[in-house]
Structure 1
Amino acid sequence: MGWVDVFRRGRAAVPRHSWSVFGPKRRLRSVQPVEMLRVIRFPHLNLVQTHVQPSKFQTQLVRWGTVLAVTSATYQFLTNLHTVPITGRTQVVVLSREEECELGNKTAQEELAGAKTIDDGPRLQLCLDVATRLVSVSEHLFPREYDWRVWLVDNPSSANACCAPGGKIIVQTGILDLIDFAVQKGICRNKHDALAVVMAHEIGHALARHTAESMSMLPLMYLQLILGMESPLLEYIFQFAFNLPFSRSQEAEADHIGIMLLASACYDPSEAPRLWKAFTAFYADPEAGEGALDMDFDWVSTHPSNRKREKALDALVEAALELQRSSSWCAFLQQKVLELVGANTEAELLHHIRAAMTEARAEEAHATSGAERTQRRRNTIGAIHELESQEMLKVIRGEAAQLEQ
């Protein structure tokens, strides 16, 4: 039996009733005639095809609907343009101030749920003093629109702080440990200026309304989801091309606002780049616990690298110092503090403070006009943009603690 017989028997082994699975029941010719390739038009299809053209009314409806949608989107865009303070950048924020504050209250409640807050002690007082000073200056420079609150959370494992929309500041004790490390290593000069860098950055986020701006970008996020449903690659491209760079730009802008704000509050702006140098040293120090070395390539992160932030802030120090020098009350406040802190005991310090306040009130009483009284008060008491006496006392105590270190 040759191979031809085997081949034939193999083909015959397949039953004829199953040929529909392995091949067509009817063998087609290899070349179809031309008449078999022409499109056959059926009467009912021709009738449908002759009526698919839109009417004039439908065309006008689509046209005016498109114009209305574009006009509405343009109106929403133009009526929600805002200017970021200090940097002057134009942003789009759809949320109102009331909605933003409500969102901040809910966010703060979620962050504080189950957290162990510290309600007393020198660390909390340090945070309150620095925040009071920065907020007082920010409210003089910008409209008073937020209900500022400060919480200190006992969390040594987190060297972080955040500010929810509406002025809700949450500080983790881990950031205070990092500041202590920076002062002990000689990287930062004192705790007050270093903490002012952190809190001014967070206040900068609130003043720039970064959270509300991010939520205004939700339509783009919906576009990301729509595109990402069919292609995960497009979702990653959108993430690395838009989301992460946008977040890093907001962080850099908060650094810019923060250094100008702390300079206006008479803190040392040169402490800002030193703090980020301390961040790098802290996580590189084996005794600081777990932590990864800072990476210069930050394209996979929501924050710029510590080294990049250090360089960017170092470039802004001179402008911040110039702003501080233009505020004559800063030099006067520092001089007044040096005079008052000469005492060795708190009783003598308070005596000098009361004497300075009494002298200020006396000069205010001799002033003839309201404008003159205001100017006398600024020149004599050295108040940070007309702080109340109790807040001024906190500021002076904070400066005294700095000089004693």
Structure 2
Amino acid sequence: MSKFKFYTSFVLVFFLMNCGTNPFTGKSTLALVPNSQILPMSFEQYNKVLEEAKVVNGTDDAIMIKRVGQKIANASERYLQENGYPNYTDNYKWEFNLIEDDQVNAWAMPGGKIAFYTGILPIAENETGVAAIMGHEVAHALANHGQQRMSAAQIQQTVGAVGTIALGNEDQQTQELFATAYGIGSQIGVMLPFSRKHETEADRIGIKLMAIAGYDPDEASELWKRMKANSGGNSPPQFLSTHPSTDERIKNLNEWAPEAKKIAKKYGVTNFE
């Protein structure tokens, strides 16, 4: 076995021993950095963003963001309770804020910190559209995608460092070629697909949560049709993107909507807003 294979095998075995569980899929997830460290940092960073941004308070839109966010969070708590994870969000501190900014964006931070920009509201178009976005962002927080991205970045950096050490006796040109090839290969072949997987996972979890919260899951695909129209169809090739293609998202959400309705029915939800 080469030194590189030996070192990387050792490192990967160590990393695989540090895993969590996604309560929505039952699959193991990378958890090298514990939430006990991540959440305080997340809360601090979120507060810093709010201090530096123009937070909208008291308007109909701001009130709607908080209302929808809380309904989605409550839906997630019901789901977790019913599926054997009653204490999963004990350390979460749900917070939903609207920020005045023209960006067409919304984002989530670990521990339930969600932000919407006013620029996305015209595309959301209505409260159900907001719920589709909110479900996606809440799903990111619940699936610990931030923790997984931090863990994956650690693996990427560590394996790269191990490769450099293993090639320590090689000439400088060989080492530089390895660094370049590894950087490009790990980004396109590992990190970007990893991010796309998270986005798809958040779409699938989010459409269930919005349905359990009483919002029509059929609206999720309509939202992404409006997103596509707003962007003019311009996006990088999927293999160079952190997100799935818009067409793929629309197709997936259309296919998942009936499933989401069936799940919502188990929670007594048969009529949607």
TM-score by length of 1: 0.56
Runs of at least 5 residues in structure 2 that lack an aligned partner in the other structure:
1-5, 81-87, 165-174
Is 1:167 aligned to 2:115, yes or no? no
Give 1:208's aligned residue. Answer: 143
Counterpart-to-counterpart distance in 2, 1:144 and 1:105: 14
Partner of 2:137, secondary structure, is helix
* Structure of higher RCO (CA pairs closer than 8 Å, 6+ residues apart): 2
Residues 1:310 and 2:250 aligned together: yes
Task: Report if aligned partners of 2:136, 2:202 keep a CA contact under 8 Å in 1.
Answer: yes
CA spacing shift, 1:111–1:226, aligned 2, 3 Å: farther
Partner in structure 2 of residue 196 of structure 1: 131
Percent identity for Structure 1 against Structure 2:
29
Structure 1 residue 296, shift from structure 2 partner: 7.6
What's the counterpart of residue 319 of structure 1?
Answer: 259
Q: Where does residue 97 of structure 2 map in the other structure?
A: 151
Alignment of 1:3-402 (within 5 A): 74=13, 77-78=16-17, 80-142=18-80, 143-145=88-90, 146-156=92-102, 158-180=103-125, 191-217=126-152, 218-224=154-160, 230-231=176-177, 232-284=180-232, 293-295=233-235, 297-328=237-268, 330-331=269-270, 334=271
Letter matched to residue 139 of structure 2: G
CA distance in 2, matches of 1:81, 1:212: 11
CA distance in 2, matches of 1:324, 1:305: 27
Cα distance in 2 for partners of 1:205, 1:257 equals 9
- CA–CA separation in structure 2 for the residues paired with 1:251 and 1:132: 21
Code of the aligned partner of 2:109: A
Larger radius of gyration: 1
Kindly provide the amino acid, as one letter, of the partner of residue 308 in structure 1. Answer: E
CA distance in 1, matches of 2:121, 2:187: 33
Q: How many angstroms apart in 1 are the aligned matches of 2:156 and 2:115?
A: 29
- Superposed CA RMSD: 2.5
**Pair 112,222 (structure 1): closer, same or farther in 2 beyond 3 Å:** farther
1 CA distance for matches of 2:89 and 2:76?
8
Determine helix, strand or coil for the equivalent of 1:299.
Answer: helix
| Offset, 1:113 | 4.6
- The TM-score normalised by the length of structure 2 is 0.82
What CA distance in whole angstroms lies between the structure 1 residues aligned with 2:70 and 2:96? 9
SS in structure 2 opposite 1:216? Answer: helix
Task: Read off the aligned partner of 1:82 and give its amino acid letter.
Answer: G
Aligned partners of 1:87 and 1:256 also within 8 Å: no
In 1, the alpha carbon distance for the partners of 2:99 and 2:117 equals 5
CA contact (8 A) 1:247 1:303 kept: yes
Helix, strand or coil at the partner of 2:240: coil
Question: How many residues align structurally?
Answer: 246
Deviation at 1:248, TM superposition (A): 0.6
CA distance in structure 2 between the partners assigned to 1:131 and 1:260 by the alignment: 14
For residues 19-63 of structure 1, what are the alpha-carbon distances to aligned partners after superposition, in whole Å with 9 as ceiling and x for unaligned?
Answer: xxxxxxxxxxxxxxxxxxxxxxxxxxxxxxxxxxxxxxxxxxxxx
Which runs of 5 or more residues in structure 1 are unaligned? 1-65, 181-190, 285-292, 335-398
Distance of aligned partners of 1:75 and 1:230 in 2 relative to their CA distance in 1, 3 Å threshold: closer
